[in-house]
Amino acid sequence: MTVSLSPVLSARHISVNLGGKQILDDVSIDVSPGELKVLIGPSGAGKSTFLQCLNFLIPPDTGIISLESHEIDAKNPRALSLYRRQVGMIFQDFNLFDHLTAVDNVAIALRKVAGLSRDEARRRAMAELDRVGLSQKSGLYPAELSGGQKQRVAIARALAMDPKVMLLDEPTSALDPELVGEVLAVIRDLAAGGMTMIMATHQMDFAQALATEILFMEQGRIIEQGSPAELLAPGSGTRTGDFCRRLLDAAPAAAKD
């Protein structure tokens, strides 16, 4: 018998209009504990906007977002702050503080938001840096780190808050190809450990191997969703499969540029 788990995070009928343009149009998602939902689709499909809506960085014009069945009131600063502690966000461009070392980038929210002492925050920060394989780089500043290392620091910073859900907005898109693997390895370990995640990515091999469900977005809507086996099977005739084949066909040409 299959046990149905209640969603950790649920979004219902999310719509966003920016500058007179419909960016998201009635988008809904449920994410159960331990699931990795992958958003794919062409540029401008609304993937990043949707992830930012889920963290209320872009307030939805319409729709409801709930964490563990509790609807979030974005107009309540205390409720919103608590929600953001439980829903971590990883951006394309790292968003680290240039004037802080790796360990201090991770520790600052533990001190300022979680209220830990300086020593407690530093111990926890070091543990999270070790978790992503960067304990030996703890004293370096962002300018001294590679792109992959900076993204791993950003992941450690989010993990330090003990999030119930992680939102990852194309976390490898700003990296040189040889650095992509080290970040995907960390995300793979998180998935194996049961972290609940929603991730926008063009890394289709990764998505095919690890996604619980793929959601294909186009023109602000989810037009297909299903397991990788359903959407990417040879001869499936899905929009998702066609998009992924075109990505793979473009890869050799991109490698020559």
Q: pLDDT tens for residues 156-202?
A: 999 999 999 999 999 998 888 888 999 999 999 999 999 999 999 98
Q: For residue 110, which of 97, 99, 123 has the smallest C-alpha distance?
A: 123
The answer to whether 158 touches 122, Cβ cutoff 8 Å, is no
pTM listed for this prediction: 0.91
Residue 1 pLDDT greater than 90, yes or no: no
Instruction: Show Cβ contacts of residue 233 under 8 Å, excluding neighbours closer than 6 positions.
Output: 241
- Residue 235, pLDDT score: 77
Please name the fold of domain 9-95+164-256.
Rossmann fold (3.40.50)
**pLDDT tens digits, one per residue of 227-245:** 999 998 887 788 888 888 7
- Residue 93, pLDDT score: 87
Q: How many residues does the chain have?
A: 257
The answer to whether 102 touches 130, Cβ cutoff 8 Å, is no
Residue 79 pLDDT greater than 90, yes or no: yes
